[in-house]
Amino acid sequence: MIGSGCALVVYSRRLGGPVHDEGSLRAFGALIVRIQQGGHLSRHEASHAFTTIWRNEQPELQQGVFIEALRSRGPSPDEMAGFIDSFEAAWFAVNPGSVGGAQPHVMVCGVGSDSLKTVNVSSGASIIAAACGLRVHKVCAPGMTGVSGSADVFAIAGVDPHVPHEAALRACREGGLGVTSVVGAHALPVGHVRVLGSLRCATVLHLGGPMSRFSEDERHKMVGVPAPPLTRFVVEGLKAAGFETAISPCGTAAGAPGRFMDEFSNAGPTFVARLAANGAITEYVVHPEDAGLTAVPFEKIAAAATRDENVSNMLDVIEGRHEDGPVLELLALNAAALLEQMGHADSLASGVTLARQAVASGKAAELLRHTRALQNLPPA
């Protein structure tokens, strides 16, 4: 008599599909059932499960069910820590390296999947903050849930985000801004690109990826999230992962209740969680007026209809082709948060002033040109 497991193996072979070990199928399936029933995985179990996914050692259907089960129930801190452990181990195995230098750098990105779509804020803010003297490592991807992603922005601006990882780290170290694509050729061996390439919806990958390190000396991060409860979850996770400072904003817009953007907002209050250098975590709300700004209608900062138009609206501000207005204020506010986080401004209001000056003086446009020239060169 042939057991059901053996029968399934025979059936898979007849169909020409891959054959997976029955024991590993059942073990992975048991993790899924535990999550579906409300149970939790240990940090080690979560790390091993995601490593299995990166290596494509389970059927894709089981991988998808596992990812969806975590999304549906919501990951625990230990499960998120396990994701970070697994992702960083896979990333640094093929992309080792540090930015280095005496001045620490900050990494900034948004999780995406937000319900209020704007211009590419983290991209513009990273350029302006670097023009103000910060060293910024911008990790980016193509637009997956929005009109355009950061990788689209920099590609259209002439900065190749898909260069070897060491070139981006060097650009950050020597020029102030380096751009790393999470889907470039250097990222393919990590394993997450195969999974992300099949997804156009929010998953634990879209949260855990931005929480992970992309350089071995990364200690400071700003991660925008699409819902207020995630702000504290993210900074607590970053603290557990050994980060020294972190900020997680989630913005709102007047007249749009229950909808959020994964950045500081100049259209309404922003919910913020912050990890200070002394290890303290605080939660607070920032109003545009706190930064010396006047709240604007969301329509003034909303995403355009097409990718190219959306990118152009942001680059026109950076390169001085657009007068001071709501989009510049939005970018300046988010750059100001980075400046304050890294000790280059004593308040959001003073940071906004510095950010505006960087654009008005042409420093932001020059920084972008310098990044284009520096990053696109082959590594030394």
pLDDT band at residue 143 using 50, 70 and 90 as cut-offs: low
Residue 84 is predicted with a pLDDT of 95
If one compares 2 and 109, the residue with the highest pLDDT of the two is 109
Please state which CATH class domain 4-94 belongs to: mainly alpha
Per-residue pLDDT tens for 19-74?
A: 678 999 999 999 999 999 999 999 999 999 999 999 999 999 999 999 999 999 99
3-state secondary structure string across 323-364: CCCHHHHHHHHHHHHHHHHCCCCCCHHHHHHHHHHHHHCCHH
- Cα(first)–Cα(last) distance of the chain, in Å? 64
Q: 3-state DSSP call for residue 202?
A: coil
3-state secondary structure string across 104-121: CCEEEEECCCCCCCECCH
Are 208 and 80 spatial neighbours (Cβ–Cβ below 8 Å)? yes
Q: For tokens 């939660």, what's the residue?
A: 283
Angstrom distance (rounded) from CA 212 to CA 332: 25
Q: For tokens 């997956």, what's the residue?
A: 144
Residue 179 is predicted with a pLDDT of 96
Angstrom distance (rounded) from CA 226 to CA 318: 25
Residue ranges covered by each domain of the chain: 4-94, 106-375
Burial class of residue 154 in the structure, from the number of CB atoms within 10 Å of its CB (0-12 exposed, 13-18 middle, 19+ buried)? buried
Whole-prediction pTM value?
0.91
When the pLDDT of each residue in the chain is averaged and rounded to a whole number, the result is 91
CATH architecture of 106-375: 3-Layer(aba) Sandwich (3.40)
Is the per-residue pLDDT at 5 higher than 80? no
Helix or strand run (H / E) with residue 256: none
Buried b (16+ CB within 10 A) or exposed e, 186-205: bbeebbbbebbeeeeebbbb
pLDDT band at residue 276 using 50, 70 and 90 as cut-offs: very high
- When mean pLDDT is compared across 14-18, 27-31, 142-146, 286-290, the lowest value belongs to 14-18
Burial class of residue 369 in the structure, from the number of CB atoms within 10 Å of its CB (0-12 exposed, 13-18 middle, 19+ buried)? middle
Share of the chain above pLDDT 90, in %: 79
Are 42 and 78 spatial neighbours (Cβ–Cβ below 8 Å)? yes
If one compares 151 and 357, the residue with the highest pLDDT of the two is 357
Q: Tell me the CB-side half-sphere exposure of residue 110, using CA atoms within 13 A.
A: 35
Residue 294: partners with Cβ closer than 8 Å, 6 or more residues away: 288
Kind of pairing, strands 177-181 and 270-275?
Answer: unpaired
DSSP code at position 61: H
Per-residue pLDDT tens for 316-341?
A: 999 988 767 999 999 999 999 999 99
Q: For tokens 């494509």, what's the residue?
A: 56
